[in-house]
């Protein structure tokens, strides 16, 4: 598949966005069952008509995505939800009132025959969210469709936080991209299964477990989240994701431990990269040292993580060592993505 890719430039704060010519044209492409990348508050998504096998198949072809990995459906208003799912549990209502629009995906029992089976990966459940981004909401509303939209990158690569990242990965493979600048949160939405009495986090993200529990009480975390085993009910539960070209190793140790590993590999003639934070960058010696925000502000690490992982590809590296972070708050999402990028390769000197 090789197609001329359109780029629609849109300002985030433009008035009356639904009638904006670029939004209208991009929505026309979605109604024609084409794929269109667009910004959300987390990352850029690759959107297509969630009810069409033809449209959703184009997502999988463009991304090279495994077929048993379900897709998240994006909507523009809560009223759409009643047309798509069997029921909305009370706890789901509470979470929607608190965090929609926002970086929170909820798993519901889907209505039979509504979605392409490629969206649900053959499951009887579906993940749905309402993005907190004016351009995304305008595009979805103008299209009049529920929009399936995984991250707009080649499968396994770091997720895109700018339109440039989308173009790097998918130029010639999709109809176009709506360019509204850099995204905000930087890591994908939190995914919560609402089909059981106690909600379960299937993927940590922009809304933390503590924030969820403030609204609905006890929230569990899926024990298979780290192992990535079994049939995934949510994107990001299986397969290596977010990886740069060189293999990544997480190091549970001190800066001195990491430097010893770097020195050993350099003596072998390898080119080594280090992923660190602003506080520690000057303390390392390696071919490439990149920072992903501040250790004192894990939101900044979440925001810059994918861009930093992609930046390593500008250098011909043989191996990358990464610091680790506390698995608290948004740090749980940061470590989940780093573990995926590393293929769960963790060194404990």
List residues forming the annotated binding site: 42, 65, 69, 74, 129, 149, 151, 159, 189, 203, 242
Contacts of 100 (CB under 8 A, 6+ apart): 78, 129, 130
Find out whether 7 and 36 touch, Cβ atoms under 8 Å: no
Strand-pair partners of 250: 322, 346
Q: Which residues are annotated as a binding site for L-threonine?
A: 42, 74, 129, 149, 189
| DSSP result, 75-89 | -SSGGGGGGTBS---
Contact 235/69 with Cβ under 8 angstroms?
yes
Are 163 and 9 in contact, with CB atoms under 8 Å apart?
no
Residue with the two structure tokens 């399936």: 148
Omega prior to 101 cis, within 30 of 0: yes
Backbone angles phi, psi at 165, to 5 degrees: -60, -40
Binding-site positions for ATP: 65, 69, 151, 159, 203, 242
Phi and psi angles of residue 299, each rounded to the nearest 5 degrees, phi first: -65, -35
């Amino acid at each position: 598949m090789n197609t001329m890719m359109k780029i629609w430039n849109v300002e985030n704060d433009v008035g009356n966005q639904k009638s904006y010519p670029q939004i209208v044209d991009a929505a026309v492409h979605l109604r024609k069952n084409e794929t269109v990348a667009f910004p959300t508050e987390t990352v850029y998504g690759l959107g297509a008509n969630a009810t069409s096998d033809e449209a959703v198949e184009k997502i999988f072809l463009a991304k090279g995505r495994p077929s048993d990995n379900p897709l998240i459906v994006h909507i523009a208003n809560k009223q759409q939800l009643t047309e798509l799912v069997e029921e909305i549990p009370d706890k789901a209502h509470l979470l929607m009132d608190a965090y929609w629009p926002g970086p929170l995906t909820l798993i519901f029992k889907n209505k039979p025959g509504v979605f392409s089976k490629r969206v649900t990966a053959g499951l009887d459940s579906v993940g749905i969210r309402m993005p907190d981004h004016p351009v995304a909401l305008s595009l979805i509303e103008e299209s009049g469709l529920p929009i399936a939209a995984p991250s707009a990158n080649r499968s396994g690569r770091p997720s895109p936080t700018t339109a440039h990242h989308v173009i790097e990965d998918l130029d010639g493979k999709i109809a176009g991209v709506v360019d509204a600048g850099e995204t905000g949160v930087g890591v994908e939405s939190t995914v919560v299964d609402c089909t059981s009495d106690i909600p379960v986090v299937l993927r940590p993200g922009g809304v933390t477990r503590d924030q969820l529990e403030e609204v609905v009480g006890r929230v569990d975390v899926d024990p298979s989240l780290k192992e990535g085993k079994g049939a995934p009910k949510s994107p990001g539960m299986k397969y290596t994701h977010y990886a740069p070209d060189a293999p990544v190793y997480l190091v549970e140790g001190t800066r001195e431990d990491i430097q010893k590993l770097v020195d050993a590999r350099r003596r072998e003639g390898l080119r080594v990269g280090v992923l660190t934070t602003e506080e520690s960058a000057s303390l390392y010696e390696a071919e490439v040292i990149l920072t992903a925000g501040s250790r004192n502000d894990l939101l900044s690490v979440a925001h810059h993580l994918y861009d930093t992982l992609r930046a390593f590809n500008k250098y011909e590296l043989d191996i990358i060592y990464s610091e680790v972070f506390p698995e608290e708050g948004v740090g749980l999402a940061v470590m989940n993505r780093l573990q995926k990028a590393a293929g769960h390769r963790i060194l404990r000197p």
